[in-house]
């Protein structure tokens, strides 16, 4: 099983975007997620020093080189126009007491179902950042405790669409290790965040918004509403966003807002992220309207525009919230009332018919009685 290790909060590929469903067909690399999910969750960047072997199940560390591109960088972040390039380097350190041979490569990035950055494996050809990076050597031999600086060049081809691209530089053991009968490919990498110059068009869309109400057995208690939707990065810049959800009855009455909503992770262009939120305390008013508001944020890293305010994104959808228990009770009471009224009317008709028959009989008897002669 392939495994990409990223050295703790102070070390390589930083926490990134997307979600349970991806617009691009990059599924072959998702097999990586199973083996390194724990390592990925703490990612924030690469440290200035080598990654410690005690913190990670690998015996070597990686960091960015100190040069004209910067010193003590968390990762690689570039802004390049199409047809231009630059030179940089990665430092690899052997933390073990024996020599080690490592393969070096570059790969395209994608975001996993848990919202972190991963890199495609060698079985999946890179078509963007991974193919724009040329390393000076395909491998490196390090004696115990030795470090080596490996130069590389980033070259953005002419005609590339402006926007954000993600990838990374990977170090790996040439031969996968065997653990519990499973082949484990241990990899250690540093993120490369590249913004191709040109017109930046950040945009998020809310898609497939749905509202589903779940009532309570108590006819007078409020229920809960489940709101689901998909956030789609339809622009060319990576974006994060804060989200707000509110559920209300007709004309906005009895509005309830969702609490403890987490911010969306950074989404790469084309990525999607599924959201499911439960809003408790919703009164079943018959028709409910759920409103979703997103406040996009453009990350500062690698940006020439900074955190410029972006327009909010709004969407709404309606759903039925029928208090079935209360409705059944009302229908039963209404049926009982109707039956009671009908029964009373029937009894009145019978009583009226009995009185009418008695009167008719009395009149008939009276007519049959002999008339007295005066």
- Give one DSSP letter per residue of 132-183, joined into a string: HEEES-SEEEE-TT-EEEEEEEEEPPTTPPSEEEEEEEEEE-SS-EEETTEE
Please check whether residue 85 is in contact with residue 148, taking contact to mean a CB–CB distance below 8 angstroms.
no
Query: What per-residue confidence (pLDDT) applies to 192?
Result: 97
283: closest CA among 328, 245, 330, 247? 247
- Cα–Cα dist 217/323, whole Å: 9
Closest CA to 168 of 125, 237, 117, 127: 117
Q: What is the pLDDT of residue 7?
A: 39
| pLDDT for res 356 | 83
Residue 181 CB neighbours (<10 A):
5
pLDDT given at position 321? 83
Which of 269, 55, 77, 34 is closest to 190 using CA atoms?
A: 77
- How many residues make up the chain in this entry? 374
One pLDDT digit (tens) per residue for the chain, 374 residues:
444 544 333 333 333 333 334 333 333 333 333 233 223 322 333 333 333 333 456 899 999 999 999 999 999 999 999 999 999 999 999 999 999 999 999 999 998 888 888 999 888 999 999 999 999 999 999 999 999 999 999 999 999 999 999 999 999 998 766 555 566 678 899 999 999 999 989 999 999 999 999 877 666 678 899 999 999 999 999 999 999 999 999 999 999 999 989 999 999 999 999 999 999 999 888 899 999 999 999 876 544 445 568 999 999 999 998 765 556 666 777 877 887 888 888 888 888 888 888 887 777 777 777 766 65
Gap between the terminal Cα atoms of the chain: 129
pLDDT for res 349: 85
Question: Can you point out the beta strands (E) in the chain?
Answer: 2-5, 60-64, 76-80, 85-94, 100-111, 117-119, 133-135, 139-142, 147-155, 163-172, 177-179, 182-196, 204-214, 223-233, 239-248, 256-257, 264-267, 272-282, 286-297, 313-321
């Amino acid at each position: 099983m392939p495994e990409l290790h990223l050295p703790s909060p102070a070390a390589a590929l930083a926490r990134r975007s997307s979600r349970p469903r991806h617009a691009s067909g990059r599924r072959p690399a998702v097999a990586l997620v199973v083996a390194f999910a724990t390592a990925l969750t703490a990612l924030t960047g690469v440290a200035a020093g080598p990654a410690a072997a005690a913190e990670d199940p690998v015996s070597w560390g990686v960091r960015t080189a100190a040069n004209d591109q910067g010193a003590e960088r968390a990762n690689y972040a570039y802004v390049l126009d199409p047809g231009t390039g630059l030179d940089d380097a990665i430092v690899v350190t052997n933390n073990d007491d024996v020599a080690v041979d490592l393969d070096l490569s570059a790969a395209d990035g994608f975001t996993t179902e848990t919202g972190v950055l991963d890199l495609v494996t060698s079985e999946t050809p890179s078509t963007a950042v991974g193919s724009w990076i040329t390393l000076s050597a395909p491998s490196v031999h390090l004696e115990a405790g030795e470090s080596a600086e490996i130069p590389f060049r980033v070259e953005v081809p002419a005609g590339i669409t402006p926007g954000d691209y993600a990838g990374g530089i990977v170090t790996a053991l040439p031969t996968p290790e065997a653990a519990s009968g499973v082949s484990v490919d241990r990899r250690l990498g540093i993120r490369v965040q590249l913004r191709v110059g040109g017109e930046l068009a950040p945009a998020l869309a809310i898609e497939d918004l749905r509202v589903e109400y779940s009532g309570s057995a108590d006819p007078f208690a409020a229920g809960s509403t489940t709101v689901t939707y998909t956030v789609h990065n339809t622009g060319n810049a990576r974006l994060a966003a804060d989200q707000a959800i509110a559920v209300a009855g007709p004309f906005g009455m009895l509005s309830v807002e969702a609490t403890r909503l987490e911010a969306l992770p950074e989404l790469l262009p084309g990525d999607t992220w599924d959201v499911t939120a439960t809003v408790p305390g919703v009164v079943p008013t018959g028709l409910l309207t759920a409103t979703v508001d997103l406040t996009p944020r453009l990350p500062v890293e690698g940006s020439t525009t900074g955190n410029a305010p972006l327009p909010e994104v709004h969407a709404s959808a309606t759903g039925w919230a029928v208090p079935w228990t209360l409705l059944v009770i009302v229908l039963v009471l209404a049926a009982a009332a109707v039956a009671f009224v009908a029964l009373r009317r029937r009894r009145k008709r019978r009583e009226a018919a009995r009185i009418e028959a008695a009167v008719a009989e009395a009149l008939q008897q009276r007519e049959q009685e002999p008339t007295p002669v005066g």
